[in-house]
Amino acid sequence: MQKNIFRSICTAMVVVVCSHAADDSRPNILFCLADDWSWMNAGCYGDTQARTPNIDALAAKGIRFEHAFCSAPSCSPSRASILTGRMAIELEEAANLYGGFQNKFAVYPALLEQAGYFSGSTRKGWAPGDWEDFGWKHNPAGQSYPNFEKFLKKRPDGKPFCFWFGSIDPHMPYEDGYAESSGFMPDKMILPPFLMNTPGVRKDFAGYLAEIARFDREVDGMVKLLEKMGELDNTIVVVTSDNGMPFPGAKTRLYDRGTRMPLIVYWKKGSVGGGRVVNDFVSLPDLAPTFLEAAGVPVPVEMSARSLIPLFVSTKSGQIDPTRDCAITCRERHCPAQPDSWGGYPMRAIRTDDFLYIRNYEPGRWPQGYYPEFTDMEDSPAKTDYVKNWNNPEYKKFMDFGFGQEPAEELYDLRADPDQMHNIAAQAGFSDTKKQLADKMNARLLAVKDPRMSGNGGIFDTYEWFTEWKHTSLGDTWKKCGQEGLKH
């Protein structure tokens, strides 16, 4: 009921903007997806080290979302949820890294293509995992093209387009010397408080920021091309990331540094006013029904996410829809990181303005792998430093933040602890808060039929691995999952 109300709010606008007239005026869609970029590391979000002038300029002319969250802090689950407009845990094998993606799940690029759009993608689409054996003719993100310009040259006259730009920046590993040559000096890095301050960590953090700057330039190149063609004003440009930074305690984890995403939207013809900052809690799966609604295409009832069109057409900043007051995130299996087990690390979380509550379903497991493999982090200078300092008392708290085992429940009071570094779940006085948050989270999980709610959560650990190393020994798999040069 609520979903239908929101979809009908701007029917009149959609009729005008998305007319199927001969001179098809439906909006183009340019979706720009970074790989492992946390929301905090952009100039428009207050980072003075990051260099994102072009994305900042889009935000100044468009809408910046303050509370945007991915469905899962892992590449392929997050991407599957973006494509389908559903939580990752609704997608069976696709909830896991290196899982399968069944073609029974409708994806917005194909739906738009069926409605007359010219659809395509470049670089990293839905990945890593297997789509070939599940009935898809091409990657679910769209037919692959070498780049955006060549895609546009192939577009038939008069057709609106839908394009997925899947960058591999700023995913590890980082090219040695690239950060320094780009003006990001490791010894000058100011690190976030949950990372230990060592040469390897600073080196990788400089590489991370340098690749964010490269992503910013590539986004600008595509925007300028559209401007030159006279098509920018009727193009929905979305800039975001699939999950958080590839550092311990971030990527694969349900803290803000793993799940909270930059989200900038520019659409001159379809949104009211520029430079707006929206505080509503939104989720990246919301983009699929948004794109469909903007194009005048019916949104499948299976899409559990909600269109952002009402937020686009509002004249307000701040909180617009009072029902958007929280975000639910999840995680199942990333790399095989448990001793003598192929199991994942199942987690669910609810994030509100004031609190983050996390439920760890297997607290005896290791969230990001155990010493010395630390498999859920790519091989890198930073990882080398963490392994080297595992038993160093000076860095114990950083080891705990990044790799330590967690209790069944975590609770963070964001008013006192915005960096989410002090778990107060066991402290007196918070039992009512925990219960209220858990009840609200579980109600949402029940609504989307999360297998964890029916006692069938173990099914996620039984799904097949689709990788070049799926039939190797567990030890070999650990090595290959984090090997240098593998960008997943």
Report the CATH number of the 328-481 domain: 3.30.1120.10
pLDDT value, residue 361? 98
- Placement of tokens 């958007």 in the chain: 324
Cα torsion 470, 252, 447, 305: sign: negative
Q: 170: cis peptide before it, omega within 30°?
A: yes
Mean pLDDT of 256-261: 98
CA distance linking residue 123 with residue 449, whole number of Å: 33
CA distance linking residue 484 with residue 74, whole number of Å: 18
pLDDT value, residue 481? 41
Residue 369 tokens read as 């792998």
User: For the chain, which residues make up each domain, given as ranges?
Assistant: 2-16+28-321, 328-481
pLDDT value, residue 468? 58
In order of 278, 326, 327, 444, the CA distances from 322 in angstroms are 12, 10, 13, 17
Report the CATH number of the 2-16+28-321 domain: 3.40.720.10
Q: Is residue 474 scored above 70 in pLDDT?
A: no
Stretch among 3-17, 98-112, 256-270, 414-428 having the lowest mean pLDDT: 3-17
pLDDT value, residue 272? 76
CB atoms within 10 A of CB 102: 16
Sorting pLDDT into bands at 50, 70 and 90, what band is 23?
A: low
Answer yes or no: pTM beyond 0.85: yes
Mean pLDDT of 178-196: 97
pLDDT value, residue 270? 87
Q: Is residue 476 scored above 60 in pLDDT?
A: no
Mean pLDDT of 390-394: 95
CA distance linking residue 330 with residue 284, whole number of Å: 13
Residue 290 tokens read as 């948004």
Sorting pLDDT into bands at 50, 70 and 90, what band is 479?
A: very low
Residue 461 tokens read as 């650990």
Instruction: Give, in degrees to the nearest 5, the angle at Cα 281 between 277 and 285.
Output: 110
**CB-count exposure of residue 438 (10 Å: 0-12, 13-18, 19+):** middle
Sorting pLDDT into bands at 50, 70 and 90, what band is 448?
A: very high
In order of 130, 256, 259, 288, 347, the CA distances from 433 in angstroms are 41, 19, 22, 33, 19
The partner residues of 412 in beta bridges, in order of sequence, read 356
Average of per-residue pLDDT values in the chain: 91
pLDDT above 90 coverage of the chain, percent = 87
CA distance linking residue 449 with residue 302, whole number of Å: 12
CA distance linking residue 392 with residue 406, whole number of Å: 20
Mean pLDDT of 233-249: 97
What would the pLDDT profile of 296-344 be if each residue is shown by its tens digit? 999 999 999 999 999 999 999 999 999 999 999 999 999 988 987 889 9
CA distance linking residue 394 with residue 337, whole number of Å: 25
CA distance linking residue 337 with residue 340, whole number of Å: 9
Mean pLDDT of 398-413: 96
